[in-house]
Amino acid sequence: MPLTIKVPYTRYLAPDGQLQSSLPAWADDPDLLCRLYKQMRLTRLFDQKAIALQRTGRIGTYASTLGQEAIGVVIGELMHGDDVLVPYYRDTAAQLRRGVKMEEILLYWGGDERGCAFVDPAVAQDFPPCVPIATQALHACGVASAFKIRGEHRVAVTTCGDGATSKGDFLEALNVAGAWQLPVVFVVNNNQWAISVPRKLQCAAPTLAQKAAGAGIAGEQVDGNDVFAVYDRLQEALERARRGKGPTLLECMSYRLSDHTTADDASRYRGEDEVKQAWAEEPLKRLQNFLVEHRLWDEQREQDWLAEAQKRVQAAVEAYETSVPQQPGDALDYVYAQWPAAKADQRAMWLERVSRGNGEG
């Protein structure tokens, strides 16, 4: 007597850029489509630059978002200004679209806490990238609880990878989101790998979206490399949450075209064929094909935008590289609202130590 389950899956745009089914009404907006494409292109350019900076030792380890730009860009596009993003560490795409500055992202991966200070008021309440896997899902539930308690029509959006769906935090978060009907959307970036662990070793269920069933919340899959699918389903999930109709788990099927991070060598554990196949399905080219076919985009516009994007990235790199050094006291000054008087001796010790000139500053 087996338990039976059926999980919806949405895709409009086939890997070759052809439509599989007719588009929803909202998609009849060339500006929107071009904006999404341009943002994806910009994100990829920045991402490549970050990897280059790591290779030359100008930032530390970096987690590339190559091949997963559609998910993050749509998240950033659809969220309202006063919604809150609670991202993981592979969310450059969503963060940039939300208003985090490129130089902040570089500062963060460059080992400088100011990278999470987020100067743009648009992202003043967004969380910084979260490294301890899946913990952010619970923070998002806390944020959503605050919205609900205060009666605000705001949504918390949180992201994570496929691997993260195995960790208790994620599962406890789905459960409380359901129990309390929280205005939160869980976006799983299923890029098929958790470092070297493939999706199928992570979980025996055919979809990750069906983890929603155990929490009694909505769950579905989309082709995460199809901006139309992501946009359509995320839009509905956000609206449902905003109207107090409960949380959603949205599993976005994608692929990590890069190594896990710059510290990883994916060729150790996965075959070339698989990666080659994934390149044929990546989101940028797919959307570009569609836009070109529908005469919404052309080579000239591509070149113009590339030049503009290049310029923005370059300016950010310069801003990053010329940022003034941190003050030694910064390392202590934000640990508590006020450094405790009881630890005054430690402050003195620290400043003395730094002035002794150990290491870099």
Partner 1 sequence: MGEKYSKVTLLEAVNLAMKRAMREDDNVIVLGEDVGANGGVFRATLGLREEFGFKRVLDTPLAETMIGGLSVGMAAQGLKPVAEIQFLGFIYAAMEHLVSHAARLRNRTRGRLSCPMVIRSPMGAGIRAPEHHGEAVEAMFAHIPGVRVVIPSSPARAYGLLLAAIDDPDPVIFLEPTRLYRMNPQPLEDHGQRLPLDTCFTLREGSDLTLISWGASVHESLQAAAQLEEHGVSVEVIDVACVSPIDMDTLEASVRKTGRCVIVHEAPRSCAVGAEIATSLYERLWLDLQAPIQRVTAPDIPPPLFRMEQHYLPQVADILQACDDALNYA
Using CA atoms, how far apart are residues 267 and 269, in angstroms rounded to an integer? 5
Q: Which does 25 bind (CB under 5 to 8 A by kind): a second copy, partner 1, ligand TPP, none?
A: none
Spatial CA neighbour of 210 closest among 181, 186, 241 = 186
Using CA atoms, how far apart are residues 91 and 300, in angstroms rounded to an integer? 29
Residues in the chain: 361
Tokens for 42? Answer: 């910009």
Q: Which residue is nearest to ligand TPP (CB)?
A: 161
Secondary structure in 3-state letters for 39-93: HHHHHHHHHHHHHHHHHCCCCCCCCCCCCCHHHHHHHHHHCCCCCEEECECCCHH
Q: Which of 11, 256, 286, 320 is catalytic?
A: 256
Told to judge if 260 belongs to the known catalytic residues of this protein, a careful annotator would answer yes
**Rule CB under 6 A: is residue 248 a binding residue for ligand TPP?**
no
At residue 338, the 3 state secondary structure works out as coil
Q: Which does 132 bind (CB under 5 to 8 A by kind): Mg ion, ligand TPP, a second copy, none?
A: ligand TPP
Backbone φ and ψ for 132, nearest 5 degrees, come out as -65, 115
Sketch the per residue contact string, 144 through 183, with a second copy: x for CB under 8 A, - otherwise.
----------------------xxxx-xx--xx-xx-x--
**Rule CB under 6 A: is residue 161 a binding residue for ligand TPP?**
yes
Q: Which does 41 bind (CB under 5 to 8 A by kind): ligand TPP, Mg ion, a second copy, none?
A: none
Sketch the per residue contact string, 79 through 98, with ligand TPP: x for CB under 6 A, - otherwise.
-----------x--------
Nearest-approach distance from CB 79 to ligand TPP, in angstroms: 20
Tokens for 256? Answer: 């990590």
Using CA atoms, how far apart are residues 160 and 170, in angstroms rounded to an integer? 9
Using CA atoms, how far apart are residues 313 and 63, in angstroms rounded to an integer? 17
Site residues for ligand TPP, window 166-205 (CB under 6 A)?
189, 191, 193-195
Which is nearer to a second copy, 245 or 353 (by Cβ)?
Answer: 245
**Residue 44 identity (one-letter amino acid):** R
Q: Which does 213 bind (CB under 5 to 8 A by kind): Mg ion, ligand TPP, a second copy, none?
A: a second copy
Give catalytic residue positions. Answer: 256, 260, 269
The binding site for a second copy (CB under 8 A) comprises 1-8, 10, 166-169, 171-172, 175-176, 178-179, 181, 201-206, 209-220
Q: Which residues bind ligand TPP (CB under 6 A)?
A: 90, 131-133, 160-164, 189, 191, 193-195, 256, 260
